[in-house]
Structure 1
Amino acid sequence: MALGVLNPPMKSSPRESECLDSSSTEEPEPEPGPPLKSYLLLSMFTCLCPAYPVNIVALVFSLMSRSSYYNGDYDGSLRLGKNALYVAIASIIIGLLIIAIICVLHFTPMYH
């Protein structure tokens, strides 16, 4: 038997040729966005401070900033990252004040 009988030549449909043609054209790669500044590590560090409602807000802003960045909203990511930074700094200051007040109250002798 001849090979042509066993394996008849396959005709490609117009759809297959369109797919092949479209895959051969290269689309330009999108430009990379600005660097990610979500301050996630700082926000996670502030979770060790005793200012719990404030440091959780910093962590939420940081996570929202990362989400906006990966969705392509670079301006929103930058804005939320700055908010995360400011709230994290406020959390550290509040935490240090709480620690200082507790130390003063604990080590001050009580006179009656």
Structure 2
Amino acid sequence: MALVVLNSQVKSSLSGSTFFDRGSIEEQEHSPPLRSYLCLTIFTCFCPAYPVNIVALVFSIMSRNSYYHGDYDGSRRLGRSALYVAVASIVIGLLIIAITCIVHFTTMEF
């Protein structure tokens, strides 16, 4: 009777019982955490600084793709860029809102 191994992490012993290969699982545990700031960049899409927040969203998605392809340094670099552009988008959006409110309320006729 031949035993078929479906996953590279699952191995079978001579008695027929299966167990996980701990070496490959330990290698996967040492990957750094994913920091793509996707939630923040989606939140910035509601700010009125549209070209800037779309760039932040693109950086965030590129960071996630790099992470899943195993490029952890590129993922970290793109995630940091996404964070900086998202913060810039929030600041620009708040400035646009403040300037709009100031112009609207100072030119209002009573």
TM-score if structure 1 supplies the norm length? 0.74
Task: Tell me, yes or no, if structure 1 residue 43 matches structure 2 residue 41.
Answer: yes
Q: Which of 32, 35, 42 is the equivalent residue of 1:34? A: 32
Give the aligned partner of residue 59 of structure 1: 57
Pick aligned residue for 2:86 from 75, 88, 111 = 88
Over aligned residues, Cα RMSD in angstroms?
Answer: 2.4
Q: Partner residue of 2:76?
A: 78
Segments of 5+ residues of structure 2 without an aligned counterpart are 14-20
Structure 1, unmatched stretches of 5+, are 1-11
Which one has a larger percent strand, Structure 1 or Structure 2?
A: 2
| 1:9-36 Cα distance to aligned partner (Å, 9 max, x none) | xxx8xxx68x77x954847213321111
Which protein shows a greater Rg?
1
Which structure has the highest helix share of the two? 1
SS in 2 for 1:28: helix
Counterpart-to-counterpart distance in 1, 2:107 and 2:85:
35
Deviations 1:31-56 (Å, cap 9, x if unpaired)?
Answer: 32111100000000000000000000
Residues matched between the structures, number: 95
TM superposition outliers: structure 1 runs of 4+ over 3 Å: 22-27
TM-score w.r.t. structure 2 length? 0.75
Aligned residues with identical type, % of pairs: 65
